[in-house]
Structure 1
Amino acid sequence: MASSGPFPDGFAGQNPLTLLTLDELRQRTSVKWRMHPPDVLPLWVAELDVPLAPPVADALRRAIDIGDTGYGHGTAYAEALGDFAARRWGWHDFRVDHTTVVPDVMMGIVEILRLVTDPGDAVVVNSPVYPPFYAFAGHAGRQVIEAPLGPDLRIDRAALDDAFHRARACGRRPAFLLCNPHNPTGVVHRRDELEAVAELAGRHGLRVISDEIHAPLVLPGAHFTPYLTVAGAENAFALTSASKAWNLAGLKAALAVAGPQAVADLDRMPEEVGHGPSHLGVIAHTAAFRAGGQWLDLLLDGLDANRTLLETLLAKQLPSVTYHRPEGTYLAWLDCTALGIATGQPAGGPGVASDIAGPARMFLDRARVALSSGHVFGTGGAGFVRLNFGTSPAILTEAVTRMGQAVEEAHHPAAG
């Protein structure tokens, strides 16, 4: 059960996902709420429908009240993450001096790729995977090689071995972008799976960069393992922030963490990268890791209830849609191939997140529900949609009900 605490403004013991109405959410100006017309229920981009956690809001208010809006300084962010990692994940040898602040996780990934790979080198990803892995690697002049997930949506060791072999053959300094936990599937990689990754990376000579932005969002029944705690990961990197768990994407700040054999590489990070994070962002993320644990527990309880609710709703409204119950994140990967909807893909392909095709296009047009189109997640994504269940039970219920009605109407159109 979630722990309660002395939250102001009536937050104590309440599910953060139930505290905002649809009308209140529609006042927001972020991409989730302004990309589509107001009749659309947006369950696509990874933004949470929650108020700010009180400790975060308090820290920001204090900074504004005293005019603390200058240049950032110090290691408070890394110290807060280290304490959080020790409490939540048992990562007791976290080293503050092995970290640096970067603007956000994806910009940190790109900067590390520039440090440890060369233009034209290969970057391996486990498809289907977060679309910016394709886009950002391509923009940096690297080529992407896919190692598709297995039928169980977990890392396929044989496919990874083959991809690592191909990556090594076509570039001097290849890398592997690990998504831990995995987006869009919600899989939380086990320690033995990560050990296999480290063994293969060591054998083939690939550097591993682990995106751990969803690490605080591991749901009951699973346990998060930081990649840098695995034997063989000493020359790897991890990147994380509080942005997904505490809904802080608009407050830019993330941390890059180096394994002990990668510190010298991290030290070569250009100085100007450290000027990108927002000072208010650092304050917010620090407060989240330092004092946002009780609020996070309430959120995780709400997300756990929502993933069960989603399972129930799909069984009733969309029984032909396969739901792979996520172990972490607030993202559900829905197999809609049995609906028989054409999966023709617009130009752009993997990584072009603005493209909508197949089931996502049908649900947007007919149900007025916005979902992420599966094809942009790479091989294995066509015919799928990603649904963000980090919203209120009422909105989730309305959205899936609309989706079910749209499919029913498509299959049994009214006689005219």
Structure 2
Amino acid sequence: MTTDGGSETTADTSGPAGEIANPLEVFTLDQLRRRRSMKWRAHPADVLPLWVAEMDVPLAEPVADALREAVDAGDTGYPAGTEFAESLAGFAVRRWKWDGVAVDRAAMIPDVMMGAVQVLRLVTDPGGPVVVNSPVYAPFYAFIAHDDRRIVEAPLGPDHRIDPQTLEDTFRDLRRRDSSARIAYLLSNPHNPTGTVHTREELATVAQSARRYGVRVVADEIHAPLVLPGAEFTPYLSVPGAEDAFSLMSATKGWNLAGIKAALALAGPEAADDLRRMPEEVHHGASYLGVIAHTAAYRHGDRWLDALLTGLDANRALLGRLVAEELPEVGYVRPEGTYLAWLDCRALAAEEAPTSTDLAVVTDLAGPAKLFLDEARVALSSGHIFGTGGAGHVRLNFATSQGVLREALGRMGAAVRRRG
């Protein structure tokens, strides 16, 4: 398949002898530019979009087949039953050797962030504190603030990992200020935007600290299927001390299903009663077609996911080489998971003020992201929207073809050289 906007090809996800072809190398740039999703419509056609978390891939065939079957049968009603949770339970056993997805402690939710809001309502009060590890996924700030909760940052360490002492100090200070406060900690696992995959030991330390200070942990684990070679995903609910915590999971990122919404909220054994207090109408917010798609992904999407992970691993290596060649001033820490790279561009001295002070504006640009859009025609996510520690950085989505990656990094390097 060509990826340079040249001759047209028809999407084909099979390779020799029935192998799954690299999903990232299926579509040409011309084909991708016909998409109408946010990634491809937010900027003019001369911009290479490597920003929002969409992948340049076709649907996995089992997912497409399940959707076609439902549409052909007119089966487009309301979701029901426990198949979605059962499919995740089977996937968790196969992929993570974890049998902790209990169907009676799982609830359908519209998507992970709406689920986060609903779970935080169960375990915090209006105006109450929610701890996050900045820099972190920008919508954490927006959704928490819009639901009248207060963000408290416990910044990551310089190695992009959770700093256990900083987290402990944050929990302790909040508890000292208000012994009766209902405190929550919204954990990103794997971490967005840095691509850090927290280890079992790190998560066990988190759980012990949270228990010590009565903090309820809500783990956003939407990127769990996207752990790359060299790292291992640990479900937060599997670590000792996490029995009163929650996990939010979805096939959205692993199989590129952002436009077909569905997710699951999972409760530890001691959190089951809290989860049962979630209003029934929340469970009806998931799309039925989304439930069908996500269930098919968890049940039948392993081979496609393996091919994707192989492609992402190759792209991760290529990106490291391209950054070293084209942008030697830029810091790059090899991500362990997700398809997101966190680039330290502070040496480029492109620190301009953002056009908005509202972290909810995820399309806002400042500093290096603005530089690369204006002068290289490459769209990246601006680091400042990810909170403290994000200024001077950009987040780059490498879930695209290698041809697009080479073109984008070549443009970015040329723009920096032109600036001298």
Regarding TM over 0.5, the answer is: yes
SS in 1 for 2:252: coil
Match for residue 338 of structure 1? 347
SS in 1 for 2:408: helix
**1:156, 1:210 → 2: CA distance?**
17
How is 1:224-373 mapped onto 2 (pairs within 5 angstroms)? 224-373=233-382
How is 1:203-242 mapped onto 2 (pairs within 5 angstroms)? 203-242=212-251
Matched length:
405
* Cα distance, 1:167 vs structure 2: 2.9
C-alpha offsets along residues 151-197 of structure 1, whole Å, 9 cap, x if unaligned?
Answer: 10000011101211233325710100000000000000000100110
Kept in 2: contact 1:363–1:370 (CA 8 A) = yes
For structure 1, the 5+ residue unaligned runs are 1-6, 412-416
Match for residue 207 of structure 2? 198
SS in 1 for 2:247: strand
**2:299, 2:12 → 1: CA distance?**
17
> In structure 2, do the counterparts of structure 1 residues 403 and 243 end up closer, same or farther at CA, with 3 Å as the change threshold?
same
| RMSD between superposed Cα atoms in Å | 1.2
* Cα distance, 1:342 vs structure 2: 1.9
SS in 1 for 2:270: coil
SS in 1 for 2:77: coil
Match for residue 106 of structure 1? 113
1:74 aligns with 2:81: yes
**1:298, 1:387 → 2: CA distance?**
21
Give the counterpart of 2:62 among 55, 73, 98. 55
* Cα distance, 1:45 vs structure 2: 0.3
SS in 1 for 2:225: helix
Query: Identity, % of aligned pairs?
Result: 64
AA at the equivalent of 1:264: D
Match for residue 174 of structure 2? 167
Give the counterpart of 2:188 among 162, 179, 185. 179
Kept in 2: contact 1:53–1:295 (CA 8 A) = yes
AA at the equivalent of 1:326: P
Greater mean deviation of Cα atoms: 88-97 or 149-158: 88-97
* Cα distance, 1:67 vs structure 2: 0.7
AA at the equivalent of 1:10: S
**2:358, 2:348 → 1: CA distance?**
22
* Cα distance, 1:9 vs structure 2: 5.8
1:95 aligns with 2:106: no
**1:219, 1:212 → 2: CA distance?**
15
Kept in 2: contact 1:189–1:224 (CA 8 A) = yes
Greater mean deviation of Cα atoms: 315-324 or 85-94: 85-94
AA at the equivalent of 1:279: Y
**1:297, 1:148 → 2: CA distance?**
33
**2:361, 2:160 → 1: CA distance?**
22
For structure 2, the 5+ residue unaligned runs are 1-10
SS in 2 for 1:197: helix
Kept in 2: contact 1:350–1:378 (CA 8 A) = yes
